[in-house]
Amino acid sequence: MKLSRFATNPDDRHVVFVPGLCDLLREAAQVPRPIRLLLERGDGQDLDPATCHSRLLFGQALPAAALSRCFDRPDDTSGTWLRADPVGLTPDLGAVWLESQAGLPPDSAAARELVERFAEEGMRLDLCGSGRGYLALQDEPECRFSPPWQLAGESMDRVWPEGPDALYWRHLLNETQMILHQHRQSNTDLPGSLWFWGAGSLPAAVVPGRVRGVHATSPELQGAALWAGLEVVQSCPDAGLSAGALVEWRPDHALSADDNLARLAELLGAAVRRLRFSRTLRELELAGEHRAWRLSTLRAWRPW
């Protein structure tokens, strides 16, 4: 299944993006009927977690670092970017657990030393108030990086950078951790590392969106929408879908997987009814970071 940009008018398509969807489906005792309908009758396609946001919004893979840069630094987006996010890494029996951090203060001694170290490599490190960091690069690395949400519980040999330039970036990652470790001796609030991912630059021409607007809190989706000139609403609605929108629906981590899916089913149930009985909706998509399912009006009515 190809996530087409053109087969359906953007006003006639709803896309619901659920971070951690595959985990919810795996952990739940049962899957509510509206969600099961999408999984069983919808066309399915695997997604690359590193570029899932742009695939859903534009139908093609675009670099996450350049997209989120449009949100964090809209006046400084040209060139090639690599995310360098401050993270906390806790080793546990060979695995690495990711911990969210408030960020690395740009005026801290640790940040200044990191800026100087990357400058020696010909890179500019920019730490934003959002807690995200960016490296301005001369060329795109020949390397594949794992996005932060793939780190939790994984052993280091599964999340290290891979590719022809991997050893170089592994060395820089180790140096980053060593510099921060030294400064953590006097300031335990500092993160444990910077994590590299999402490398690349944006196309010269803006790519048409598969929808008209975005309701989301993730910087990748908001930045992508701003770059493409789409409507942006900085929220994740729990009831109702705007026409022609990509909606980011975030689970409540205080609830069980079954309870979260029950909430999601209420949202999707109303959309399935519109898909069947209204001419204003032609396609409904449900997606997580790893997979997307697209349900058309025709498939929604088929009996199997």
Q: What is the pLDDT of residues 37-88, one digit of tens each?
A: 999 999 999 999 999 999 999 999 999 999 999 999 999 999 999 999 998 8
Claim to verify: residue 214 and residue 132 sit in the same structural domain? no
The predicted pLDDT at position 99 comes to 76
CB 270 within 8 A of CB 280: no
- SS3 of 265-293: HHHHHHHHHHHHHCCCCCEEEEECCCEEE
CB 292 within 8 A of CB 44: yes
In a domain, 178, yes or no: yes
In a domain, 74, yes or no: no
Claim to verify: residue 131 and residue 168 sit in the same structural domain? yes
- Residue 149 amino acid letter: W
Q: Count structural domains, the chain.
A: 2
CB 10 within 8 A of CB 209: yes
Claim to verify: residue 99 and residue 143 sit in the same structural domain? yes
In a domain, 71, yes or no: no
H or E element, residue 9: none
Tell me: pLDDT of 269 over 80. Answer: yes
Residue 108: phi and psi, rounded to 5, are -75, 160
Residue 290: pLDDT band (50, 70, 90) is: very high
Give the integer Cα–Cα distance in Å for 61 and 50.
9
Residue 5: pLDDT band (50, 70, 90) is: low
In a domain, 70, yes or no: no
User: At 180, is the secondary structure helix, strand, or coil?
Assistant: helix
Residues 177-205 pLDDT 10s:
999 999 999 998 999 999 999 999 999 99
Give the integer Cα–Cα distance in Å for 284 and 281.
8
Nearest Cα neighbor of 69 from 116, 136, 19 is 136
Beta-carbon-side half-sphere exposure of residue 176 (alpha carbons within 13 Å) = 27
Claim to verify: residue 183 and residue 225 sit in the same structural domain? no
Q: Determine the structural domain holding residue 115 and report its residue range.
A: 79-200
Residues 245-267 pLDDT 10s:
999 999 999 999 999 999 999 99
Claim to verify: residue 113 and residue 151 sit in the same structural domain? yes
Which of 178, 200, 222 is where one domain is finished? 200
Which of 200, 217, 242 is where one domain is finished? 200
Quick count: other Cβ atoms within 10 Å of Cβ 299? 18
Claim to verify: residue 214 and residue 237 sit in the same structural domain? yes
Tell me: pLDDT of 26 over 70. Answer: yes
